[in-house]
Structure 1
């Protein structure tokens, strides 16, 4: 684990709000984001996570779980998708030219390009190039992320929510992570 993202990108700041004893909104103390760094790819940091939707915010239970070292919603964990019924917000940094492996999760993901140009590739071969502000709504999608630049880092932010498994081409949706060099078979 590291406190650094992809070289050349400033670390994200994350602000969590709560309430003081008078009921006024305030910023809570937050641990530094932990980037799980993979050389040649980049890194991912969990910005926030809750164990249920709707979230239980009573007595800052969600904040305390996020700050903990071992809760399923801990800021130190690297899960992309939480078990139902939670949600996850992650920041993903891509080094120049880096690609993820082709992967699929049992989730609906809202992914937004915020820095750089990122190619979003589907297992059927279709590719769209995302520019800052462009976003993809993924629904149990087999996909790969690639930084389109060979000399500048890129970043996207994603919110993942678990979904019910459903039939995809005669098979029930399940989490899959293919080796980096291979593409999914249609």
Structure 2
């Protein structure tokens, strides 16, 4: 995949020191993606969120940068997608509630019924477990921030709509 020309993503994470005082515990640039155009921003593994998790274990660091967590079963995942011109994310359905904010460029959302809409800088999408896909139809790179929450499966007329994940590229 072509490296993104968009600015680096700086992540600043606050927390508490051993005396209970507020402090910055991470200030770093997220590494560019290797395979998928995705960078993990943060992962929680329950509700309510444990804001002292970094004091108990460093395990969250290993999982936030990987694509292995599409959604935490009882938490939230946040990711940034950098999509080059012409890039397609195939049609898929996840058992999640996804809240996305277009930060740069534009992206086309397509639904299974053929409906499409173009989302531009500042637009927000609330994706509620529908069968959908994405395409950057523009000549510029697009950056979208998503917060992904685990959700109950969708049931229509007594039938559960199955999760359908895109094939790995």
Same fold (TM over 0.5): yes
Aligned length: 168
**Alignment correspondent of 2:85:** 96
**Alignment correspondent of 2:103:** 114
2:12 is paired with a residue whose SS is coil
**Alignment correspondent of 2:59:** 65
Unaligned 5+ residue runs, structure 1? Answer: 69-73, 181-186
RMSD: 2.6
Q: Distance in 2 between matches of 1:102 and 1:169?
A: 23
1:123 to 109, 112, 132: 112
2:44·2:72 contact (CA, 8 Å) conserved in 1? no
Cα shift at 1:111: 0.9
Q: State yes or no: 1:53 paired with 2:43.
A: no
1:176 to 161, 164, 168: 164
Q: State yes or no: 1:162 paired with 2:150.
A: yes
1:149 is paired with a residue whose SS is coil
Q: State yes or no: 1:13 paired with 2:10.
A: yes
Cα shift at 1:56: 1.4
String of CA shifts for 1:93-117, please: whole Å, max 9, x gaps.
1011111111110011101111001
